Structure formats: structure tokens, C-alpha cells
Amino acid sequence: MEAIEERGAHSGAESLLLLKAEILAALSSVRSATNQEEVLQADQAYKKALHAARSRGYRPHIRAAEGQQIHVEWVPLAKL
């Protein structure tokens, strides 16, 4: 698995940055959710961003580092 940086991804690098922000916001929303409806809304936002990334040929590799900081890197989908 080889992750890529948004800066060198392709001409759609800005859209990958926006999708990364949407994914991080959705994950943060789950953490701060106070009811089931907020969890469902965050899940829908995450799925929408994930679908958009896959349609551009990437999938996010999400990992948590020490101190619970979340990192998102883009991994190109294998072409079949």
C-alpha cells in the first residue's frame, strides 16, 4: 500500500483536500455526538465523502496516532 500526498496526487488535489476535511469532520462529529440522529448524520457525511473519493480513484487510509490524532492519507485504488 502506497499512500500519496494531496499536493502530488493530480489536478484534483484540491478536491482530495476537501474530502479529507469532510472525513475528519464526520469522524469528529461522531466523537461529539449526543444522540443517535447526530451519529447517523455523521455516518451519512462520511459515506458521501468516501463514495466521492472512490469515484476519483482513491480510498482513504485512516489511522489514529498517539494522543488520538487522526491521520488520513490517500491510497490509489488498484485498476482492474
- The predicted structure's pLDDT at residue 3: 52
More confident residue, 39 or 2: 39
How confident is the model over 48-72, as pLDDT tens digits? 999 999 999 999 999 887 777 888 8
DSSP track, the chain: ---B-GGGT-TTHHHHHHHHHHHHHHHHHHHH--SHHHHHHHHHHHHHHHHHHHHTTEEEEEEE-GGG-EEEEEEEPPP-
- The predicted structure's pLDDT at residue 80: 43
Kindly report the backbone phi and psi dihedral angles of residue 73, in degrees, each rounded to the nearest multiple of 5, phi listed first. -120, 155
